[in-house]
Structure 1
Amino acid sequence: MHARNLTLALSLLGALSILGAVGASAADQPAAPQDVADPYIWLEALSNPRVDAWVEAENAKTVAVLEKDPRYPALYDEALTIAEAKDRIPTPRFIGDEVYNFWQDAGHVRGLWRKTGLEDYRRPEPNWTTVLDLDQLAKAEKANWFWHGADCRRPDERICLVSLSDGGEDAVTTREFDLATGQFVRGGFALPKSKQSAAWAGDDEILVARDWGKGTMTTAGYPFIVKALKRGQKLASAKEIFRGKPSDTEVSPISLQDGQGHKAILIERSVSFFESETYLVKGGKAVKLALPVKAHVRDLTAGRLLVKLEQDWRAGGKSFPEGALVSLDLAAVEHDPQHLTPTLVYAPGPCESLDEIASTKEHLIITSFDNVKGRAAVYTPAADGSWTERKLDLPDNSTIGVVDTQDRGEKAFLSVTGFLTPSTVLLADAASGEFAAVKTLPAKFDASKDVVEQRQATSKDGTKIPYFIVHPAGMALDGNNPAILYAYGGFQVSVTPFYSANIGKLWLERGGVFVVANIRGGGEFGPAWHEAGLKTQRQRVYDDFAAVAEDLIQSKVTSPRRLGIEGGSNGGLLMGVEFNQHPDLWNAVDIQVPLLDMLRYEKIAAGASWVGEYGTVQNPEERAFLASISPYANLKAGVKYPEPFVWTTTKDDRVGPQHARKFAARLAELGQPYLFYEVTEGGHGAGANLKEKARTTAMELTYFSRKLMD
C-alpha cells in the first residue's frame, strides 16, 4: 500500500532550501480588539499596490547586500549544480508493473512525470518514457502549473487523479489522467482549484472534500463536507455523504485497498490538529468507528486496518500504550464498528518511536527510531490474528525510510541516509527479508575529514536533550568554529540524520560545523515527547534549544560570535522566540517561512488549524502565554539584536508571508538591522523550481558566511 496516500497534508515542515527540506486572508476579516494598535496589519493583505511596492523595495535592499557579496556567485553556482545534477537519485514509485518518477532539471524547470520498468530502473541509466511534461502543459494551457502528485485507481492503477498547483500553493486543481493514452480523460473528473482531497470510491465514483461554496470551509480554510461524485456528474449534483463542522480542522476521504482485494473507504474528521474521528463508508453512509480521538488509521494489510495510537487505549479486554501500532480485522469492523478488538503489532521501548508503515501484498514494513537512530523490520500477519517480526540489518546512525511498496507484490524501495553518508535506495523483498542497493547518490562533498557525534544537553527542567554535531575530526575546542544549529520542535515531527549536499558542499567543506537538536515538541521519542511542549508548556521547547546552544558554547565548540541558528515554519517561530529571548547567544538567525505574530496567527492563512499545537487567544491563559512568547509582539527598543535574515514566499497559503513581513517592518521601526526576502512563488518552501531554490540557498549561506566566518 502506498503510505504517502494515508497521511493528511497538514505537516508544517516545509521544503527548507538550505537542507535540501483556503481560508479568507486576515485582511478580509474584522480586526479583534488587540489588533487595533497594530500599525502593520496592512501587510497582511496578500497583494495590493502598497504591499507589492513594500516587498519589492525590501527585496531590492537584501539582494543588494547578499547577491553583491563576492561569495554569492560561487555559492549559487554550487547550489544550482547540486540542484540540477542529473546524477541525483530519481525517487521511485510503483504504479502497476512499472516504476514512475517525477523529475526536474535545467531542461525541465516544471518537471517531467516519467516511467520505466523495474529492471531498467536498476540500471545506472534507465530508459525513461515521458508520461506528462509539465513545461509543455503549462505553455499549452498558459498556466503556472506545478506538480502536486497523483492518486491512481486500484487495483489496475491505469487511471489517476493528477493534482496541479498554481505556483506551488497548497490549493490544487485535480484532473483525471489515463496512463495508457498519456492524456487527460475527456469528460473525466475535473475539480477546480481549491484546498481539497479526493479518494476513489469505485471505477466511476470519487469522494471529494473541497470548497463547495460559501460556508463550506473550516475556519482554518479546509473542507468539512464530503460528497460522492460520479463520472460525468456536475459538481453541483454531487451527493453529500458526510458533514463535519466549521470549527473542525479538516475532513478528508481516504481509500484503502490491499493486495488481496480488501477495500475500506474511510472519512477522517479532524476535530483538531491531533484529534480525529474515523468513519467507515458503506452503502453511501458513514458510520463512526469506536477509536480513541488520538488514533489514526494508517494502512490496510491482509484485510486488517492498521491504527497508530497517540494515546493509551483499552479495548477488547486489553491495554495498548500510546505510540503503539495495532490491527483491526476489517470484516469484524464492518460487522460491529462500535465494539473493536485490536491486536498489538508494534509497541515502542523507552527510547523508541514509530515512524512509517507501508504494506506489500502479504507483509507490513515498519520503520522506527531508537534514540533517534533508524530501524526497520518486516511484520507478517498470522492466521490467528497475531504478527511476527523480522528485523532488517541496516546501517546504524542513519535514518531509514520507506520510499514505496508494491500493492500486488513483495518488493519495497527503502532509503538509507546519514549526515556524511550519501543517500541510498534499497530494493527489498518483504517475503525473504533480502535487500540490495539499487541507487546510491554520488558523494556531493568531501566528508573524509568530518565526523558525527551524538551528545546531550541538559534543559532548564533537567531533561536530557540529544543532539547531533557534524564537525571536522580535528576540530579545535577554542570557541572559534562557525556553527549552524538547526531544530524544528513541533507537531511531532522528528528531525533525524540526513545527507544534505548543500550543507556539506557550501558549509562543511568551508570549515563550518552543523548541529541538529532533537528538542521536545518533535516526535523522536513518541507522543509524550511532543505533548511535553504543547500550548502553555511550549517554553520547554525554547529552553531545550537554548540548552543545546549553551552546551556548544560551554564545551567551546563555538561561541556566540560564531554561532548561527536556522529553522522554518514552526521552526521559524522557534527562531523568532530565540531571537527575542536570547539575543546574546547567536550572531546569525535565519528565519524561514515563519509564524511570528502569535496573537493573530489564527487569522492568517491556515493558522486556525494549529490551535491544538499552540493554543488560542480565545482562552485567557493561552492568550497570556502566546503574548509572552510572540516574536512580533516582544520586539523591544533598546535591545541589541543580531541582524536576522527573514524570508518567506508570496504563494505560501499555509503559514502565509504576513508574519515575516510584519516582523521585518517592526524591526525597521525600531531601527534594527535586518535582511528580508520574499520569494514570489513556491508555496510553503524555498521556491517553485530548482533555480529559485538554489538562489534562496545561496542567499542563506552567503548570510551565514558573512556573519560567522568573517
Structure 2
Amino acid sequence: MPLPRWSLFFLPLLFGACKTKPVQEHHADSDPYLYLEEVEGEKALNFARKENQKSFDHFKSLPQFPVIESEVRKIILAKDRVPGVSLKKGELFNFWQDEKHVRGVWRKTSIANYKTADPQWDVILDLDELAKKENENWVWKGAYTLPPKHEKAIVYLSRGGKDATVVREFDLVKKEFVADGFYLKEAKNNISWKDENTVLVGTNFGKDSLTDSGYPRITKVWKRGTPLEQAEIAFEAEQTDMSAYSYTIFNPEGKYVIHTRRIAFYESQDWYEDDSGKEILLPMPDDAEFNGVFKAHFLFILRSDLKGFKKGSLVALPLKNINDGEKAVDSLQLIFAPTDKKFINYVSTSKNYLFIQALDNVLAKFIKVEFKEPNVWTQTPVSLGAAEGMAHITSTEDEHDTYLAQYVDFFTPPSIYIGDAGDSKNQFEKIKQAPERFNAAGLKTERFEAISADGTKIPYFVVGKKDLKMNGKNPTLLYGYGGFEVAMQPTYLSVIGKAWLERGGVYVLANLRGGGEFGPDWHQSVLKENRYKVYQDFIAIAEDLIQKQITSPQHLGIKGGSNGGLLVGATFTLRPELFKAVLCQVPLLDMIRYHKLLAGASWMAEYGSPDDPKMREAILKYSPYQRVKKDTVYPEVFFMTSTKDDRVHPGHARKMVAKMKDQGHNIYYYENIEGGHAGSANLEQSILWTSLEFTYLWDKLGYFKSKVQ
C-alpha cells in the first residue's frame, strides 16, 4: 500500500447481476491455511517453491515466453535509457541499474555533463560491490542528505526489498560509510538530520515502542558519539495510532523541526518545535494534511471544508499566528481552490517559488506560485508538452530556483526539462528525451465514461489500434487501483506498447473512486462501509467495454496490485463470468485478518475494522478469501506476490491459492522469494515478473503473433 503524502453492505442491490449465495461467518481459528502466514516458515516456503515450479514449467514451455522475455529484456536493460535525476546542490543525482549493476549504483554528474550524449558519472556508492563485500542481499531504498552542503547522507538499505531497512551514515566526499556514524539495525525506521551531529530517529526501541501498525511510536533525539539507548525522547504517539515521526525541514529562512502524530491514514496532528525547544501544536483539523513550510507559512491541504475554504484547497497558516490556538484558523490564507475537475496532487518548493502539481480532468499540470507580503499568493499556470499529456515537476531545491520537469503521455517517452522559476516567461530547455520503445504510429487513445450502479460516471482511458474492429474479439487488459487517494494517470507504455499494443491488444486505465483523480470526495465516497462501490465502478467499466464490443468476457483480463490486488480479487469473485484472465499481484485478500498482518492495522481508515460487527458484515460481502466457492467457475487466476513483502503479507496470496486449489480450481502462482512490495528487487527479477505477466495474458486472451509487422 502507498504511505501517506508526507493513503459494502448490501449485496443484492449493489451487484445486481451477480448470482451469489450468502457468505457464512468466517472464523480465523478454523482456517486450515494459517500456516501459510508464517512468512519464512519452512512449510510455507516449500508451498511457494512448489507452486512456482509448476507455473514456470507451464509458462516457460509456451512459445510466446522466449519472444516476450527477449522484448522485455531489451527494453528494461536498454543502454540508451534516460537516467532519472534529482537536483542536489546544483548537481544531478541518479540511482542506476543495468546488466553490470543489477543491484545498482548511486552516482552524480553536472547539469552540463548530463546534457551531453554520453554523460560521465561519478559513482558514489556501488551496491553490487557492497553486497558482495558484506555478503548481504542489499536493495536500495534511498538516501537523505544534509542541507545545505549535502556532504553527509543517511542511506537506507533493505534486505531483499522489504520496507524494513538498515540505516547507515555515509560521507559523500570520502565516498564511504562514516566509521562509528549513525547506524540503525533493521526495522521500519524513520530518521532525519537535525544538524550535522544530531538526528531525530524513530525505530524499534524495544518493548512498547511500536504502534499496533508496526511503525515507530516514539521518536528520540540522538547525538553523535552517544549510545542510542541514551537518546532522549522527543515525541510519543499512542499505541493505537499509525505512527510517530520527527523531522527537520531546511529552507533559506532556517530550519523547522516538526513532530507528527499520525493517528490514522488520513488523520494527523503536527507540532512545531521552536528554537527554545517548545513544541507547539499547529491548530488545524486532524484531517488537514501538512505539506511543508514556505516563507514562514505552514502549508496544509484540506480534506474537509474549513472557515469558508473548500475541501481540497491548499491554505497557508502564518508562523506568527500559531500561538493563537483555535483563532489561528482565522488567519489562514488561500493559495489554491479546487474546481469541479481540477484538484491538487502535491506541492514542492524552490527558494522563492511554490509549485502546485494539479490534476486537471485527470491529466497532470503544474502551477507556479509567488508570495508577496502580507498575504498575496499569485498563481501562474506553466505550460509544458501537449494538452492531453502529463507535465510534472520532478525535482526542486530550496537553496535555489532551478527545477526539473518532465512531460510524458501514453505514446511519448519521458522528456526531461530544466527551468528557472524566476523566469517570467517560464521557458524550458529540454535536456533529455528517451527513445521510443514501440511503434505508436497506428495507435490511438480515447476517453469514455461508464455509469456505475449508483449513477456515478466513472472515466477511463482506452488505448488501442486506430482501426480497432468493434467485434468483441480484441484482447483487452483493464487496469485499476481505486484507493488511498492514488490517481491513475497516463504514462509512457513502453513494455505494454511492445508486448501488448503492437500485437493488437487493448489497454484500459480506470479512474475509479477511491483514487485522487477528483479530490477528497472522490476518495471519501468509497471508504469503509461504502467500499463495495469501487468494485461496482470496475465492473461497470468491464460491462461498458463489452457493451461497446471493444472486447468480450472471453478476451477481457484485469490486473491490479496491492489495494489493486484486492480490487481484482473482489471483482473476479463477485462477477467471474466477466473475465478470462486475472493478474492479482501483492494482494490483500483475507479482509477479516488483514488488520492483524504486518502493516494492515494502518489501513483501517480505508477499509474499516473487521472487529466492528457492522464493518465485519460489510467486509464479508466482498472479501475475496471468504467469498471464493467450490461450485463457482472462475477464470484461471494468476496470483503473484513476494516473500519479502513486509507491507502486504504474502499470506494473503498463499492462502487464497491453497484454498482455491483445494476447491478444485485451476490457478497459477508465482512468489518471488525476494522483491518486497514492489514484487521485484532487481532488474533480472523485473524481467521475469513482466515476462510471466504477458505470457499469461496472451495464453488466456488471444492469438499471439510472434512477429509484429
Residue 342 of structure 1 corresponds to 332
Q: Does 1:384 align with 2:374?
A: yes
Q: 1:335 to 1:463 in 2, by over 3 A?
A: closer
Residue 530 of structure 2 corresponds to 537
How many Å separate the matches in 2 of 1:445 and 1:10? Answer: 36
Residue 26 of structure 1 corresponds to none
Q: Does 1:370 align with 2:378?
A: no
- Please give the residue correspondences for 1:96-495 in structure 2 after superposition, counting only pairs within 5 Å: 96-258=89-251, 260-282=252-274, 283-314=276-307, 319-333=308-322, 339-340=328-329, 341-394=331-384, 395-432=386-423, 433-495=426-488
How many Å separate the matches in 2 of 1:290 and 1:584? Answer: 52
SS at match of 1:271: strand
Q: Answer yes or no: is the 8 Å Cα contact 1:357–1:402 preserved in 2.
A: no
Q: 1:33 to 1:63 in 2, by over 3 A?
A: closer
How many Å separate the matches in 2 of 1:696 and 1:424? Answer: 27
Deviations 1:349-397 (A, max 9, x none): 1111111211111001111111111211110011222210111112211
How many Å separate the matches in 2 of 1:642 and 1:223? Answer: 41
Q: Normalised by the size of structure 2, how large is the TM-score?
A: 0.94
How many Å separate the matches in 1 of 2:149 and 2:479? Answer: 44
How many Å separate the matches in 2 of 1:50 and 1:286? Answer: 50
How many Å separate the matches in 2 of 1:362 and 1:51? Answer: 55
Residue 303 of structure 1, CA deviation: 2.5
Residue 574 of structure 1, CA deviation: 0.4
AA matched with 2:653? A
Q: How many residues align?
A: 680
SS at match of 1:454: strand
SS at match of 2:118: coil
Q: Answer yes or no: is the 8 Å Cα contact 1:374–1:396 preserved in 2.
A: no
Residue 691 of structure 2 corresponds to 698
AA matched with 2:361? N
Residue 84 of structure 1, CA deviation: 1.3
Q: Answer yes or no: is the 8 Å Cα contact 1:397–1:497 preserved in 2.
A: no
Residue 512 of structure 1 corresponds to 505
Residue 652 of structure 2 corresponds to 659
Q: Answer yes or no: is the 8 Å Cα contact 1:458–1:547 preserved in 2.
A: yes
AA matched with 1:405? T
Deviations 1:136-170 (A, max 9, x none): 11111111111111111112211111111111110
Once the two structures are overlaid, the 10-residue window that deviates more, 508-517 or 92-101, is 92-101
Residue 243 of structure 1, CA deviation: 0.9
Unaligned 5+ residue runs, structure 2?
8-24, 704-709
AA matched with 1:400? A
AA matched with 2:57? A
Identity of aligned residues (%): 39
Q: Does 1:502 align with 2:492?
A: no
Residue 69 of structure 1, CA deviation: 1.0
Q: Answer yes or no: is the 8 Å Cα contact 2:643–2:673 preserved in 1.
A: yes
AA matched with 2:157? L
Q: Does 1:598 align with 2:591?
A: yes
How many Å separate the matches in 2 of 1:334 and 1:650? Answer: 48
Once the two structures are overlaid, the 10-residue window that deviates more, 384-393 or 548-557, is 384-393
Q: 1:697 to 1:10 in 2, by over 3 A?
A: farther
How many Å separate the matches in 2 of 1:534 and 1:89? Answer: 39
Tell me how large the CA RMSD over aligned residues is: 1.6
Once the two structures are overlaid, the 10-residue window that deviates more, 493-502 or 295-304, is 295-304
Residue 57 of structure 1, CA deviation: 0.7
AA matched with 1:426? Y
Q: Answer yes or no: is the 8 Å Cα contact 1:110–1:134 preserved in 2.
A: yes
Q: 1:501 to 1:55 in 2, by over 3 A?
A: same
SS at match of 2:247: strand
How many Å separate the matches in 2 of 1:323 and 1:91? Answer: 30
How many Å separate the matches in 2 of 1:457 and 1:139? Answer: 52
How many Å separate the matches in 1 of 2:351 and 2:296? Answer: 11
AA matched with 1:184? F
Once the two structures are overlaid, the 10-residue window that deviates more, 149-158 or 299-308, is 299-308
Q: Answer yes or no: is the 8 Å Cα contact 2:348–2:396 preserved in 1.
A: yes
AA matched with 1:222? Y
Residue 79 of structure 1, CA deviation: 1.1
Q: Answer yes or no: is the 8 Å Cα contact 2:558–2:581 preserved in 1.
A: yes
AA matched with 1:370? D
How many Å separate the matches in 1 of 2:221 and 2:666? Answer: 54
AA matched with 2:335? V
Residue 436 of structure 1, CA deviation: 2.4
Residue 21 of structure 1 corresponds to none
Unaligned 5+ residue runs, structure 1?
1-5, 12-31
Q: Answer yes or no: is the 8 Å Cα contact 1:248–1:272 preserved in 2.
A: yes
Residue 87 of structure 2 corresponds to 94
Deviations 1:469-500 (A, max 9, x none): 00100101111100000000000100011112
Residue 672 of structure 1 corresponds to 665
Residue 34 of structure 1 corresponds to 27
Q: 1:586 to 1:491 in 2, by over 3 A?
A: same
Residue 23 of structure 1 corresponds to none
SS at match of 2:624: coil
AA matched with 1:431? G
AA matched with 2:253? G
Once the two structures are overlaid, the 10-residue window that deviates more, 152-161 or 503-512, is 152-161
Q: Answer yes or no: is the 8 Å Cα contact 2:6–2:291 preserved in 1.
A: no
How many Å separate the matches in 2 of 1:65 and 1:356? Answer: 44
Once the two structures are overlaid, the 10-residue window that deviates more, 52-61 or 567-576, is 52-61
Q: Does 1:684 align with 2:677?
A: yes
Residue 9 of structure 1, CA deviation: 7.5
SS at match of 2:627: coil
How many Å separate the matches in 1 of 2:145 and 2:189? Answer: 16
AA matched with 2:383? D
